[in-house]
């Protein structure tokens, strides 16, 4: 995605100038991110609890344009939400499983039914439609191996359109919950 400098629109005393109106329209339609937008994304990925004043100080803008930019990034769905990162082990989720699910039939209706069923499972924290062998790759968290075994037999195998499952277990996390790379935007 190209990066360009984007100036904050300013109101003229008599209203918006044509240049300001054009720029505002461009912003509403998903203009390229500029260095301030990228800096906001980087800072909020590292600490989403920053106050607007602290965020503004870190990126080198005043508070009002920083707040407008954050709102624009949210409206444009660059920022899709805020949440706390929780240590899964501290809350008793000792098992992280990577589960490849093979579908019985690969047609649109059956796949949508399986997708909907997977979305409803709280133990599934991520799911990807994959290429190669299998249809979906799930990231599943459970308290222990016995709980995973019960869950897979009582829940996973009973989902619509499931032919087979293949499970690998995490033996240790090297990197998890990392911020998205933004260097390609600069």
Residue 29 reports pLDDT greater than 50: no
Residue 14 reports pLDDT greater than 50: no
Which pLDDT score, from 0 to 100, does residue 31 have? 56
Asked, colleague to colleague, whether 1-85 and 95-169 share their fold, the answer is no
Structure tokens at 142: 């459970």
Which pLDDT score, from 0 to 100, does residue 134 have? 77
> Across residues 64-87, what is the average pLDDT?
96
> Across residues 31-56, what is the average pLDDT?
94
> Across residues 42-62, what is the average pLDDT?
97
Residue 8 banded pLDDT, cuts 50, 70, 90: low
Per this entry, what is the length of the chain?
186
Picking from 27, 40, 41, the residue whose alpha carbon sits closest to that of residue 75 is 27
For domain 1-85, give the CATH number.
1.10.10.10
Structure tokens at 40: 């906001």
Residues 94-121: pLDDT tens digits?
999 999 999 887 788 988 999 999 999 9
> Which fold, 95-169?
Alpha-Beta Plaits (3.30.70)
For residues 159 and 3, which has the higher predicted lDDT (pLDDT)?
159
Q: How far is CA 11 from the centre of its chain?
A: 34
For the ranges 15-29, 75-89, 134-148, the lowest mean pLDDT is seen at: 15-29
Residue 6 banded pLDDT, cuts 50, 70, 90: low
Rounded to the nearest integer, the mean pLDDT of the chain is 86
Rounded CA separation 161/112 (Å): 10
Picking from 83, 92, 26, 35, the residue whose alpha carbon sits closest to that of residue 59 is 35
Q: What is the largest CA-CA distance in the chain?
A: 70
Rounded CA separation 118/103 (Å): 12
Residue 56 banded pLDDT, cuts 50, 70, 90: very high
Rounded CA separation 8/52 (Å): 16
Domain boundaries, the chain: 1-85, 95-169
Which pLDDT score, from 0 to 100, does residue 178 have? 85
The order of strands in the sheet holding 95-103 is 124-129, 136-142, 95-103, 162-169
């Amino acid at each position: 995605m190209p990066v360009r400098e984007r100036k904050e629109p300013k109101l003229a005393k008599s209203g918006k100038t044509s240049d300001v109106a054009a720029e505002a329209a461009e912003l509403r339609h998903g203009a390229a991110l500029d260095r301030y937008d990228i800096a906001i994304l980087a800072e909020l990925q590292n600490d989403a609890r920053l106050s607007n004043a602290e965020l503004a100080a870190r990126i080198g803008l005043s508070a009002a344009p920083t707040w407008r930019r954050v709102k624009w990034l949210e409206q444009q769905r660059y920022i899709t939400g805020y949440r706390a990162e929780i240590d899964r082990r501290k809350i008793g989720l000792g098992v992280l499983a990577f589960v490849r699910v093979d579908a019985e039939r690969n047609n649109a209706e059956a796949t949508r039914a399986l997708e909907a069923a997977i979305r409803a499972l709280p133990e599934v924290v991520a799911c990807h439609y994959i290429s190669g062998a299998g249809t979906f790759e799930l990231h599943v968290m459970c308290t222990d191996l016995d709980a995973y075994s019960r869950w897979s037999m009582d829940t996973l195998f009973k989902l619509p359109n499931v032919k087979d499952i293949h499970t690998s277990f995490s033996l240790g996390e090297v990197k998890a919950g990392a911020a998205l790379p933004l260097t390609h935007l600069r």
